Chains A and B, each alone.
Chain A
Amino acid sequence: MAKLPKPEELLQINYNPPPTEDWMDRPVELKQGNFCWGAKGKNLAAVEFPNARDWTPVEADWKLPKDWEGTVLEAMADRLSKYRSFKVFMDICVRCGACADKCHFFIGGGDPKNMPVLRAELMRSVYRKYFTTAGKYLGKLAGARELDLNVLKEWWYYFYQCTECRRCSVFCPYGIDTAEITLMAREFTNLLGLNTDWISGPVANCYMKGNHLGLEPHAIMNSIEGMIDDIETITGIRINPSFNRKGAEILFVTPSGDLFADPGTFTAMGYMMLFHELGIDYTWSTYASEGGNFGFFTSNEMAKRLNAKIYAEAKRLGVKYIIGGECGHMWRVLNQYMDTWNGPADFMEVPKSPITGTVFDNAASTKMIHVTEFTADLIKNNKIKLDPSRNDDLVITYHDSCNTARGMGLLEEPRYIINSVCNKFHEMPDNTIRERTFCCGSGTGLNASENMEIRMRGGYPRANAVKFVRDKHGVNMLANICAIDRATLSASMDYWVPGVRVTGVHELVANALIMTGEKERETNLRGEPLPGKGGNE
């Protein structure tokens, strides 16, 4: 594996591309540390993907199927006829450059082909050659080029360096969303078996076992059992969640990352403590045990196949509605795709909080609400007792996930909760939050370890803003509502802003939550002494 350079070395960035070069003349170079390992054949076969075989990106021979060019062009014609977004975005870019320096990979790396407009041109140039008259006859002069192996490798390299964060789309005067183009590029590459190991493994797991991590039913229960023990140690309260229980009022679905590793597990403990304190009638499912959807990073069809489990399980268990945990891309999918793919969810009822009676009309059709919507409503109605001073050792800032910000608009709910459960909160600069938030740098299945350089580059703009509030306000905790963030921001904080840790919002809630019958708490969920208790003051 390539050695990760030091932060100062990574920051030797020049935003100005060579003045006389034509980007089409620069052949693609697969730089170690900037791409993921190739998919394993068995994982592609598990979900019936074409050209299932082991492959290695650095080898010259990608073991492509015969007439792969034809396959891609045929798929391109098909998607152009199915997605107006794709078709319009192929045609109307004026190359004004407003999006150019908005992508975190460009800001942290300076590679001109990471300018969103140029990333899109990698695809447009081929579109022009085969689907426009000018491109067909004028060729390069019209910005057109043939699809060949070099182009395919370039696509693969750069479209697996886009995290579909949609930041470029916010700044484009026509809303051109490079993520839409990346989605298509990933469809095409998947037709040729060109997936990455880090995406195809979780996809196969999720398909067969219900979650990305491949946790089997008893493993899920074991993991939660372990958390319950910890909760008992901390609060003296033994909670008793249920699994696959028919007739429960609510199905709870969260990304499996929350069940697996710190700090996500603390967030999962947070959900369970809150639900226990409220005494609500909910169940986990081991079948629909994944809120996230790595299928979304391969193809529309695969995403739908994985997502289908959530409604199917809700129907089988006969729940009234679904609460979804803290995750980013999961919520883009739930908000903008799930009902269209797998609805209508007419076997459920419009979500209604059993505690406050609030009816969530904003989920009238999907019947699925975000846990921060649920909790914000509780706090607003004074339904839980909180002691924010238990979080007083934390100076917090909040990172908006790309997808909840730009694919949903869930901005105030988590902020309201954080401000209710913590005393010290500071926003990062305006240019870097809310709809302008920066990606963690590792979304869309880029959170592997062999591509650490590009992850750290992509994570730089976010880390840079965190550093600003760390230096100014002493921020030491980065809150977020995304399982991928919890894993990946930890790495980029360690690299760029050591000393800042990462937390889910419901971990903060549970720390502040005064539970009925709890013992005097000595530690927070991480087992560290609470402020004013023990030796840290």
Chain B
Amino acid sequence: MKTVLPFIAVVILVLLPLFGVTVAHQTQIFFGVVVPYTAVAVFVFGFIYRILQWGKSPVPFCIPTTCGQQKSLPWIKQDKLENPVTTMQVVGRMLLEVLVFRSLFRNMKTEMKEGKAVYGSEKLLWLAGLAFHWSFLFIFVRHYRFFVQDVPTAIQLMEGMDSFFQIGAPLFYMTDAVILGAVTFLLVRRVYLPQIRYISLAADFFPLFLILAIAISGILMRYFFKTHIVAVKQLAIGLVSLNPTIPEGIGAIFYVHLFLICVLLMYFPFSKLMHMGGVFLSPTRNMANDSRIVRYINPWNYPVHVHTYEEYEDDFREKMKKAGLPVEKE
């Protein structure tokens, strides 16, 4: 169920624009203009809304998870990145998390072997995770070339790197293969690893199928059913310059690709994909372990009922006196 339904959902999402634009030509305006604008709006406002919602809840305590030596005596070496005390050190820690998935790199696999638990190296998830995210980012940035007349040098450079091997025409992008491979790996592991399968929800399969479909439709378009690039560029530039046009001669496959991306954008703010924003707000990672050095303030700290020393002495005065303890009241 949790695997099949998301798959069916993505298939329907592919078929919608496919039939739409082939059967009824006019729907091109819907898929080419209305949906993209809506998607971007939903994404931008949704994303901001979610961040504000999280931000509304305060962080009452200073709770970093420390993963290295604290700052204490001057001759003991502090682990600045794993147990930061200054803002710069926290930034360093966060950069490692966001750019190279530092914590995921620690991953190990526990197994029972010869009657005892052993912990083996397990870097595949980290590797696939990095490969997927970085190729996604690369591809995303590369798309910038569709939105401007003159492609900036930086983007050209990226493209040069990406098609380093100079295979095929059009030149083959390495990131295309990487993202396909990585997402497939992530999917396969969800189905085959018993633990991961057990914890997975439909909401874990859906984005993977969706992203896979986006990648496949993009690849089909580039290498197999060549689309009319000039027309696509016209549409893209029209969209960003708020002067949308629907040029002739764009294949249906393009509308499939575009529509899936729009679905991803609209789905993003309301799903686990918000980990993109959440990772920056995680108090166990983005706080300095300095709560003994400067007092951390809880905005909702309130007075509580305590058992005071005076009450304690009242309870035990005679016993205290007998034991020779000083008392406040005789």
List A residues at the B interface (Cβ < 8 Å). 8, 11, 13, 15-19, 21, 23, 48, 80-89, 91-98, 100-102, 107-108, 112, 115, 117-118, 121, 133-134, 141-143, 166, 169-177, 180, 207-210, 216-218, 221, 243-246, 286-287, 301, 304-305, 308-309, 312-313, 316, 334-337, 339-341, 343-344, 358, 360-366, 368, 373, 376-377, 380, 405-413, 416, 429, 431-432, 434-436, 460-461, 464, 467
Distance from B275 Cβ to chain A, minimum over Cβ atoms (Å)? 4
Q: Which of B15-23, B148-156, B288-296 contacts A (4 or more CB under 8 A)?
A: B288-296
Q: Is the CB of A340 within 8 A of B60?
A: yes
CB-nearest residue of chain B to A106: B110
Q: Which residues of A have CB within 8 Å of B83? A: 409
Residue B323 interfacial (CB < 8 Å): yes
Q: Is the CB of A208 within 8 A of B307?
A: yes
Q: Which of B74-82, B134-142, B222-230 contacts A (4 or more CB under 8 A)?
A: B74-82
Q: Is the CB of B66 within 8 A of A408?
A: yes
Q: Is the CB of B202 within 8 A of A85?
A: no
CA distance A334 to B292 in the complex (A): 8
Q: Is the CB of A337 within 8 A of B275?
A: no
Q: Is the CB of A405 within 8 A of B285?
A: no
CA distance A93 to B115 in the complex (A): 32
Q: Among A94, A100, A312, A406, which residue has its beta carbon within 8 angstroms of that of B66?
A: A406
CA distance A407 to B292 in the complex (A): 12
Q: Among A175, A244, A308, A373, which residue has its beta carbon within 8 angstroms of that of B65?
A: A175
Q: Is the CB of B199 within 8 A of A171?
A: no
CA distance A344 to B301 in the complex (A): 12
Given the known inter-chain contacts A97-B193, A336-B63, please indicate yes or no for A173 contacting B103, CB distance below 8 A.
yes
Q: Which of B161-169, B239-247, B276-284 contacts A (4 or more CB under 8 A)?
A: B276-284
Residue B322 interfacial (CB < 8 Å): yes
Distance from A220 Cβ to chain B, minimum over Cβ atoms (Å)? 9
Q: Among B125, B270, B282, B285, which residue has its beta carbon within 8 angstroms of that of A96?
A: B125
Q: Which residues of B have CB within 8 Å of A287? A: 309, 312-313
Contact residue range for chain B?
35 or more
CB-nearest residue of chain A to B308: A312
Given the known inter-chain contacts A335-B291, A343-B295, please indicate yes or no for A410 contacting B198, CB distance below 8 A.
no
Q: Is the CB of B202 within 8 A of A143?
A: yes
* Chain A to chain B contacts (Cβ below 8 Å), 16 pairs: A15-B195, A101-B109, A117-B199, A170-B103, A173-B101, A173-B129, A177-B63, A218-B323, A246-B326, A287-B312, A287-B313, A309-B309, A362-B292, A365-B291, A366-B295, A412-B69
CB-nearest residue of chain A to B275: A92
CB-nearest residue of chain A to B193: A97
B41-87 residues at the A interface, CB under 8 angstroms: 50, 53-63, 65-73, 75-77, 79, 82-83
Distance from B121 Cβ to chain A, minimum over Cβ atoms (Å)? 10
Given the known inter-chain contacts A143-B203, A208-B315, please indicate yes or no for A435 contacting B294, CB distance below 8 A.
no
B255-290 residues at the A interface, CB under 8 angstroms: 270, 272, 274-275, 278-279, 281-285, 289
Residue B24 interfacial (CB < 8 Å): no
CA distance A477 to B293 in the complex (A): 35
CA distance A173 to B75 in the complex (A): 31
Main secondary structure of the interface of A (DSSP, over half): helix
Q: Among A8, A48, A108, A166, which residue has its beta carbon within 8 angstroms of that of B305?
A: A48
Residue B119 interfacial (CB < 8 Å): yes
Residue B316 interfacial (CB < 8 Å): yes
CA distance A118 to B200 in the complex (A): 10
Q: Is the CB of A16 within 8 A of B195?
A: yes
CA distance A416 to B77 in the complex (A): 12
Q: Which residues of B have CB within 8 Å of A358? A: 73
Residue B188 interfacial (CB < 8 Å): no
Q: Among B50, B65, B70, B323, which residue has its beta carbon within 8 angstroms of that of A177?
A: B65
Given the known inter-chain contacts A101-B109, A174-B278, please indicate yes or no for A313 contacting B300, CB distance below 8 A.
no
Q: Which residues of B have CB within 8 Å of A362? A: 70-73, 292-293
7 smallest CB-CB distances across A and B, nearest first, come from A409-B70, A92-B278, A175-B284, A409-B66, A16-B194, A101-B110, A175-B285
Given the known inter-chain contacts A107-B110, A169-B284, A217-B320, please indicate yes or no for A91 contacting B125, CB distance below 8 A.
no
CB-nearest residue of chain B to A86: B57
Given the known inter-chain contacts A96-B129, A170-B67, A174-B278, please indicate yes or no for A305 contacting B306, CB distance below 8 A.
yes
Q: Which residues of A have CB within 8 Å of B301? A: 340-341
Q: Is the CB of B66 within 8 A of A435?
A: yes
Known pairs A366-B292, A405-B66; list 4 more (Cβ under 8 Å).
A15-B110, A16-B195, A115-B199, A368-B292
Q: Among B53, B65, B200, B309, which residue has its beta carbon within 8 angstroms of that of A95?
A: B200
CB-nearest residue of chain B to A285: B309
Q: Is the CB of A100 within 8 A of B199?
A: yes
Q: Among B59, B104, B108, B194, which residue has its beta carbon within 8 angstroms of that of A19?
A: B194
CA distance A361 to B73 in the complex (A): 9
Q: Is the CB of A243 within 8 A of B325?
A: yes
CA distance A98 to B298 in the complex (A): 31
Q: Which residues of A have CB within 8 Å of B59? A: 83-85
CA distance A244 to B317 in the complex (A): 13
Given the known inter-chain contacts A173-B279, A336-B63, please indicate yes or no for A373 contacting B305, CB distance below 8 A.
no
Q: Which residues of A have CB within 8 Å of B194? A: 15-17, 19
Q: Which residues of A have CB within 8 Å of B176? A: none
Given the known inter-chain contacts A21-B198, A287-B312, please indicate yes or no for A172 contacting B103, CB distance below 8 A.
yes
Residue B197 interfacial (CB < 8 Å): yes
CA distance A13 to B108 in the complex (A): 18
CA distance A376 to B58 in the complex (A): 37
Q: Which residues of B have CB within 8 Å of A337? A: 61
Q: Among A95, A246, A411, which residue has its beta carbon within 8 angstroms of that of B201?
A: A95
Q: Among B73, B112, B281, which residue has its beta carbon within 8 angstroms of that of A380?
A: B73
Distance from A115 Cβ to chain B, minimum over Cβ atoms (Å)? 7
Q: Is the CB of B68 within 8 A of A409?
A: yes
Q: Among B63, B97, B304, which residue has its beta carbon within 8 angstroms of that of A173?
A: B97
Residue B116 interfacial (CB < 8 Å): yes
Binary per-residue interface labels of chain B (190-210) against chain A in the complex, 1 for a CB within 8 Å, 0 otherwise: 000111111111111000000
